[in-house]
Structure 1
Amino acid sequence: MAAEDAGAARRHAPATQRNREPIAQVLDEVLPPSGTVLEIASGSGEHCAFFAARFPGLSWQPSDPEPSALASIAAWCVGLANVAPPLAIDAAAADWPVERADALLCVNMVHISPWEATLGLLDGAARVLPPGAPLILYGPYRRAEVETAPSNEAFDASLKARDPRWGLRDVAEVTDAAAARGLRFERLVEMPANNLILVYRR
């Protein structure tokens, strides 16, 4: 891809600049030292480009179901030898074009998709991850024992207005669905701007 074409294809998600470093600090603790990280719903590709440069010992496999996102991912990751060409993957699909990954990362998808996409994500993690490998989820969630921040309540309302199938998920509900698929909950990490990282292990 020519440089000018790469620039035109790039999409920009402003939140990426704010959250990529805090996410990377957690990834440093939970990712394996080597192997392939499959990212589901890579979006603009900015996270993948940043994390691939930050963790050069890992191979990164970005993905997204949207053609414009795939073009943006490819544009952001030009020149990064440890990033594979992005794959078209719908998290809810029963089959993915990936047989194995050593870690699975999903940032800001669970609340901006139908619940079936989260179940598909968990099904996929159970298929492609070997025993002990991590599934890492980032985004806003609800917790029964913690009052939801007003900003997250407003965000939830705006999501449901766009699509009633979207919205903040409850950590316990995600964890129960993960457990039903052989994914054990390992840790919850409080993140800036009322977000969380949830880590599960195959």
Structure 2
Amino acid sequence: MTDRRQFAPAAERNREPILRVLKDWLPQQGTVLEVASGSGEHAIYFAPRLTPLLWQSSNYEQEQMDSVSDWIAHAPADNLLPPLWLDVTEAQWPVEEEAYEDKPVTAIFNANMIHISPWATTAGLMAGAGRILPAGGRLILYGPFKINGEHTANSNREFDGWLKARDAGYGVRDIRDVITEARKNGLQHLVARPMPANNFMHLFEKA
């Protein structure tokens, strides 16, 4: 049988610092929807360490869906749900369906997506979070961000240039713009936390 697991070296490097913040910021119960789970390495690492929360991974690309499925088969956990296909720009997400009434989403986690996708993806993420999260529900972002129009490191500036050369719609986002989009959807920015390798985690809460 073919092993479809993908391996992301950054996921192994950043998983422990991210987990420490998740333990501080996540609610005590419900389902965490991981938007754009990538390889699935974060999902299998975080889920068993965050019980009793349920962990729902999701992806848009089929190869990444396959990778998550194989990672879960390799390292199953009772609170780790099968991955969902998710296009955040759609007007309704699978977790809004009746099947999720007994495991409502109380938090959304998204790592390293909004800079490698069109701005419409960020807008879709915020719109979905605004629809799905209950009052007090939380959205947590991880990745590189500009602050007041300025990059926080030369390496991020170079990375931004590389992204834009690949696709003009990509690029390191200014956190001001992200916060503005969040507010349109009833999400308040609570706090930012600097992370290793010139990244940040940002916490938003549904009003």
Q: For this structure pair, what is the TM-score category when the shorter chain's length is used for normalisation?
A: over 0.9
Q: What pairs up with 1:34-183 in 2 under 5 angstroms?
A: 34-78=29-73, 79-99=76-96, 100-144=104-148, 147-183=151-187
Structure 2 equivalent of residue 192 of structure 1: 196
Amino acid at match of 1:94: A
Runs of 4+ off more than 4 Å: none
Indicate which of 16, 20, 23 corresponds to 1:25: 20
The percentage of counterpart residues that share the same residue type is 47
Deviation at 1:115, TM superposition (A): 0.3
* 1:82-102 C-alpha deviation (Å, 9 max, x unpaired): 111111101222221112411
Deviation at 1:154, TM superposition (A): 0.7
2:83 aligns to what SS in structure 1? coil
Structure 1 equivalent of residue 9 of structure 2: 14
Q: Distance in 1 between matches of 2:69 and 2:128?
A: 23
Q: Distance in 1 between matches of 2:79 and 2:151?
A: 41
Deviation at 1:56, TM superposition (A): 2.3
Q: Which moved more, 1:91-100 or 1:18-27?
A: 91-100
RMSD of aligned C-alpha atoms? 1.2
2:91 aligns to what SS in structure 1? coil
1:98 aligns to what SS in structure 2? helix
8 Å CA contact 2:35, 2:57 repeated in 1: yes
Q: Which moved more, 1:143-152 or 1:188-197?
A: 143-152
1:141 aligns to what SS in structure 2? coil
Deviation at 1:148, TM superposition (A): 2.7
Q: Distance in 2 between matches of 1:103 and 1:197?
A: 14
Amino acid at match of 2:165: A
Q: Distance in 1 between matches of 2:90 and 2:201?
A: 24
Q: Distance in 1 between matches of 2:78 and 2:20?
A: 22
1:164 aligns to what SS in structure 2? coil
Deviation at 1:145, TM superposition (A): 7.3
Deviation at 1:146, TM superposition (A): 5.5
Q: Distance in 1 between matches of 2:150 and 2:162?
A: 21
Amino acid at match of 1:55: L
Relative to structure 1, the CA distance from residue 80 to residue 162 in structure 2 (aligned partners, 3 Å threshold; closer, same or farther) is same
Normalised TM-score (structure 1): 0.94
In the alignment of these two chains, the number of paired residues is 197
Q: Distance in 2 between matches of 1:164 and 1:31?
A: 34
1:169 aligns to what SS in structure 2? coil
